[in-house]
Each structure stands twice: as C-alpha cells, then as structure tokens.
Amino acid sequence: MSEPVISVRGVRKSFEDGRIVALRGMDLEVAEGEFVALVGPSGCGKSTLLHLIAALDRPDEGAIRVAGRALEEANDLSAHRAHEVGLIFQLHNLMPALTASENVQVPMFELGLPGRERRERAHALLAAVGLEGRERNRPPQLSGGERQRVAVARALANEPPILLADEPTGSLDSEAGATVLDLIERLRRERGLTVVLVTHDTGVAARADRIVTMLDGHVVGSSPNDRSAAAPTTRLAASTRVTP
C-alpha cells in the first residue's frame, strides 16, 4: 500500500484543562482518493479529529501527517490550511457582507493570484456547483442549500487534494442536503479528491468508500462500505442514493 495521504497516530486531545477528553489515542489512515465517513454519537471526537487534520487546532499528544507533512513540525499551519485541505462546516460560515464570488475568492489571496484570475476561477467554481449567475448575491440572498454550495466552492478554491466536511448536510433539508452530497461526490470523482466526512447519519455515511465508527475518542470499527448492501436509514440518504 502506498503511503496514506492522512495518517493519525496516537492522538490525544482534551479541553478545559483535561476535564473533557475528546480523543484518547486515536489512530487513522486515509489513502489518497479515498472517501471516508466518520460516524459515531455526539461527543465521540469526530469533529475534533477533523479539526486537527485541518490544523485548526493542535493535538496534546500524537502525530498527524497530511500529504507527507508532519503537522506538529510545521511552523506555519496557515499554509497547510490554504493549500492542502478544503473545509466545509455544518453551518456555511460564509462572510455575510461579501458576495458569493467574493466568498469563494477569499482563500485565493494566499495563492497570490491577480484579481481577474481570482474572479474567473470563482466564476468557474460557482458554475461547477450550479450557481452560475448568482455570483453577485450575498449569503442572505441565497437559500441554505445554495449557501452550502458556495461553501463547497470556497473549500475547493485553492484546489486542495483533501476535502474535509463536518456534517455538511446537518443544517439542510433533505433535498438541499442531497444536492450538496451529490455535488461532493461528483467533484470528488472529477478532481480525484480525498474526502473525510463527519456525519451522524448512517445513510449519508453509506456513500463513503469506508465507514470509520468512533466512540469515546477512539476508533471502534472501520469497514469498507458495501454500497449495494447498505440500506438507507434516513429520508436524506434514501433521496440521495446514486447509481454507481
């Protein structure tokens, strides 16, 4: 097997001076191009793990390597966030004062692209997520699903090899959620992305290549996903089933 694109070894993370332990010796490997769903009950450490892989926070112990780079040795984690990973949150987290196009351009500042190229790239990304013609709309002028699609476009703005999605459909209705999941799957196929997706919804997880189940801060199960056998457990999953 080639070197995993994400490698998490013995990672511990606690909050509030150790009173809340989120991860207890977590291990995980994700291969390049793989689509992994992290599932488990609330508080099991799924989002914390995703945030550590995104370098939004540092672990108390353990090692995380992403795209061959040891995060604990990196001085500048901004570069990792700008170039290696694209993040999608449960809430879209767009800048309300900026237009859809400007929101997508925000990460591109770190690439040093000229304004015209930034605008063209944002236009293409918004077209790819089905929002052509909505470039000048600000988030309050978009529906929940449209906002989340802008967030997907923003996550891909710098063409990262890894997409990290934290409950990306959690705040959407079934139809909007289905659209966003279809979009992530399509973009993953087209761009060869590695995807790590956190979800509560086993139906949503059923779309992944592998489902990693977490409990109390560590992995309790990891199994390849048999898509043909997986039965949708929710209305969202049922409505979003795609034919391979």
Partner 1 sequence: MFRAIVLKNLVRQRVRTSLTALGIAIGIATVLALGVITSGLKASLGEFVTAGGADFMVAQKGASDLSFSAVPEETVAALARRDDVARADGFELKITTLGSNPYFILYGFEADALGAQGLELREGELPAAADEIALGVDAAASNALAAGDTVVFEHRTFRVSGVYEVADTLRRSGGVALLATVQELGNRPGVVTAAYVTVAPGEDPVAVAEAIERDLPTLAAIADVDDYGEVDQGVRIMDAVNLAISLLAVGIGAIGVMNTMIMSVFERTREIGILRAVGWRGSRIVRMVLLESLALCGIAAVVGIALGLLATRAVLAIPTVSSFLVPSYAPEVFIRALAVGVVVALIGAAYPAVRAVRLSPMEALRHE
What is the enclosing helix (H) or strand (E) of 39? strand 35-39
Buried b (16+ CB within 10 A) or exposed e, 210-223: bbbbbeebbbeeee
Question: Any residues with CB less than 8 A from the CB of 224 and at least 6 apart, and which?
Answer: 209, 210
Distance CA 90, CA 76 (A): 26
Query: Length of the chain, please?
Result: 244
Site for partner 1 in 33-62 (CB under 8 A): 51, 54, 56-57
CB of 115 to partner 1, least distance (A): 6
Best CA proximity match to 198, nearest among 174, 240, 158, 163: 163
CB of 226 to partner 1, least distance (A): 34
Residues 18, 112, 115, 244: which binds partner 1 (CB under 8 A)? 115
Q: Is 78 in the site for partner 1 (CB under 8 A)?
A: yes
Q: Is 71 in the site for partner 1 (CB under 8 A)?
A: no
CB of 234 to partner 1, least distance (A): 27
3-state secondary structure of 20: strand
Count of residues engaged in binding partner 1, rule: CB under 8 A = 28
Given a contact cutoff of 8 angstroms between Cβ atoms, the answer to whether 85 and 66 are in contact is yes
Given a contact cutoff of 8 angstroms between Cβ atoms, the answer to whether 85 and 166 are in contact is no
CB of 82 to partner 1, least distance (A): 3
Q: Is 3 in the site for partner 1 (CB under 8 A)?
A: no
Binding-site string for partner 1 from residue 79 to residue 108, where x marks contact by CB under 8 A and - marks none: x-xxx---x-x---xxx-xx---x--xxx-
* Contact positions vs partner 1 (CB under 8 A): 51, 54, 56-57, 76, 78-79, 81-83, 87, 89, 93-95, 97-98, 102, 105-107, 109-110, 115, 118, 154, 157-158
